[in-house]
């Protein structure tokens, strides 16, 4: 691994791609081998960014959140084939845990309007929602409701909220500065996030995203509220527990979490549970993102061609790698094949829900590509 090249690419992100503040954490075999941090927490450049700076990572929260569900399932003898209604009796339909975890349950959009801060109302709406397709026959990414599904599953299985489960089972024992529901004592440390400055690319996803009433727009608008970047910089939003898009933490914490997974689970997960994370359950045209995507049980994967080649390499060259990006550029994943874990967090967003050049050039360099 060429650490000088990686450091040069990281520095170039600020000069060439307009990065404001960012951190990089790369682990191998349980040890952090690269830790880089630079920039500012705000556009006024009044607060320097360090490796200890926590920041909102958007959908990169989904990886830790999914791990909570999988751990709870493992500890309570549940399987991917278990029907959701067995642990959540109000839940209508025949969807399985695996179908919910891999975005196959047909629930990326709520047909009724419910506020994002009212978990119980969102959960009730999801339980009553008629699937938008027969579960298991298609998949569509749930940018926001997915986190509410995971949270309610953890509550039903364990009696704890997902945010509390993450804290008690993973964050505190592993010493991770990553929160799904930020404590008051951490509020002043958090860097603000800022919307992308450049225009999005002209593709099917952004065309749909700009079309009022489209299925894509409805998915990104369910449930209602917190639809601007600025709204996520408030203390109320940071303190709330949003397992689909509200996690706040450092690159070091995300890297260490994925290093645990890349290293075999460190006593947290059985081999078969780790297989759930690294085995694709759904691949093909995504009904929300309108591109080919692939998902395991709770994690994103790189799609693979009929010939066994990766269609894209967001998670490096390994066919076993899994993780989850966040809108605007945050990115984190584990590669059990090499024992490598990767995490990149930042506060100046770029267009896109998948990783862009700021992270992907470094991913390539980590794997010598």
Sheet with 340-346: list strands edge to edge: 31-39, 21-28, 340-346, 331-335, 322-325, 300-301, 292-295, 282-285
Minimum mean pLDDT range among 111-125, 143-157, 200-214, 329-343: 200-214
pLDDT of residue 202: 83
pLDDT of residue 261: 98
How deeply is 58 buried, as exposed, middle or buried, from its count of CB atoms within 10 A (0-12, 13-18, 19+)? buried
Could you give the count of Cα atoms lying within 13 Å of 343 in the half-sphere of its Cβ? Answer: 32
259 neighbors 238 (Cβ within 8 angstroms): no
Ordered by where they begin, the domains of the chain are 3-366 (3.40.710.10)
CA distance 154 to 162: 6
CA distance 26 to 49: 18
Summarised one tens digit per residue, pLDDT across range 9-35 is 999 999 999 999 999 999 999 999 999
Summarised one tens digit per residue, pLDDT across range 308-367 is 999 999 999 999 999 999 999 999 999 999 999 999 999 999 998 999 999 999 999 999
| Residue 369 confidence class, pLDDT cut points 50, 70, 90 | confident
């Amino acid at each position: 691994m060429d650490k000088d090249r990686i450091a040069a690419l990281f520095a170039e992100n600020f000069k060439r791609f307009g990065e404001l503040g960012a951190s990089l954490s790369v682990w191998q075999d349980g040890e952090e081998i690269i830790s880089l941090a630079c920039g500012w927490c705000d556009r006024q450049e009044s607060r320097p960014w360090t490796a200890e700076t926590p920041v909102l990572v958007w959908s990169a929260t989904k990886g830790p959140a999914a791990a909570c569900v999988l751990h709870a399932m493992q500890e309570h003898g549940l399987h991917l084939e278990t029907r959701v209604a067995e642990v959540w009796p109000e839940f209508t339909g025949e969807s399985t845990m695996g179908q919910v975890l891999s975005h196959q349950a047909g629930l990326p959009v709520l047909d009724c309007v419910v506020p994002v801060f009212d978990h119980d109302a969102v959960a009730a709406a999801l339980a009553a929602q008629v699937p938008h397709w027969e579960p298991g026959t298609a998949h569509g990414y749930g940018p926001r409701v997915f986190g509410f599904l995971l949270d309610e599953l953890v509550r039903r299985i364990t009696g704890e909220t997902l945010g509390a489960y993450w804290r008690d089972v993973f964050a505190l024992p592993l010493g991770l500065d990553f929160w799904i529901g930020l404590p008051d004592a951490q509020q002043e440390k958090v860097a603000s996030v800022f919307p992308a400055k450049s225009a999005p690319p002209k593709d099917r996803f952004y065309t749909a995203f700009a079309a009022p009433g489209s299925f894509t727009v409805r998915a990104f608008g369910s449930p209602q509220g917190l639809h601007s970047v600025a709204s996520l910089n408030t203390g109320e939003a940071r303190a709330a527990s949003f397992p689909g898009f509200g996690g706040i933490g450092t690159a070091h914490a995300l890297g260490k979490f994925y290093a645990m997974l890349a290293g075999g689970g460190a006593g947290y997960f059985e081999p078969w549970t780790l297989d759930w994370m690294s085995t694709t359950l759904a691949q093909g045209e995504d009904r929300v993102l309108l591109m080919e995507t692939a998902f395991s049980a709770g994690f994103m994967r790189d799609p693979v061609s009929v010939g066994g080649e990766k269609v894209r390499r967001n998670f490096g060259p390994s066919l076993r790698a899994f993780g989850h990006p966040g809108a605007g550029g945050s990115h984190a994943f584990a590669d059990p094949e090499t024992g490598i874990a990767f995490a990149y967090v930042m506060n100046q967003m770029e267009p896109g829900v998948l990783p862009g050049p700021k992270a992907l050039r470094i991913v390539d360099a980590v794997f010598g590509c």
